[in-house]
Amino acid sequence: MGKKILCIDDSSTIRMLVKKTLLPLDYEVLEAENGKQGLEMAINNPVDLLLVDVNMPVMNGFECVAAVKALPQYAKVPMVFLTTESSQEKKDQGRQLGVSGWIIKPFEPDGLVKILRMLLP
């Protein structure tokens, strides 16, 4: 059965591109348009991996990841930031939250798929 990915991004275009990239590869993609909505979705639908934007309205990616990581059922679930942010400072901030990876936008479908396959063998 396909693995469940939760894509949290305020850009509908990014969400659609992620979905279009992953659907043919038998991944199931859930969407949320900000950190708060993402957190609620993660609580209500157990997923195998989170793909999170950093800059979002309502609740940003860092706050969202910290909140999801605090849930015991998500302690070992891999999370990856997918963001336009590329500074070392931000990356370090992400690493301290315990995420598995950092993809800088614009992403290439091949690169995204490679990372997901590594994290979800």
Where does this chain bind another protein (CB under 8 A)? Answer: 11-14, 16-17, 20-21, 24, 84, 105-110
Q: Give min distance, CB of 103 to Mg ion, in A.
A: 13
Residue 57 CB partners (closer than 8 Å, separation 6+): 10, 34
Q: Which does 13 bind (CB under 5 to 8 A by kind): another protein, Mg ion, none?
A: another protein
Cβ distance to Mg ion smaller for residue 15 or 49? 15
Calpha distance 47→89 (Å, rounded): 28
Cβ distance to another protein smaller for residue 33 or 97? 33
Cβ distance to another protein smaller for residue 66 or 103? 103
Q: Give min distance, CB of 109 to another protein, in A.
A: 5
Would you mind telling me the total number of residues written for the chain in this entry? 121
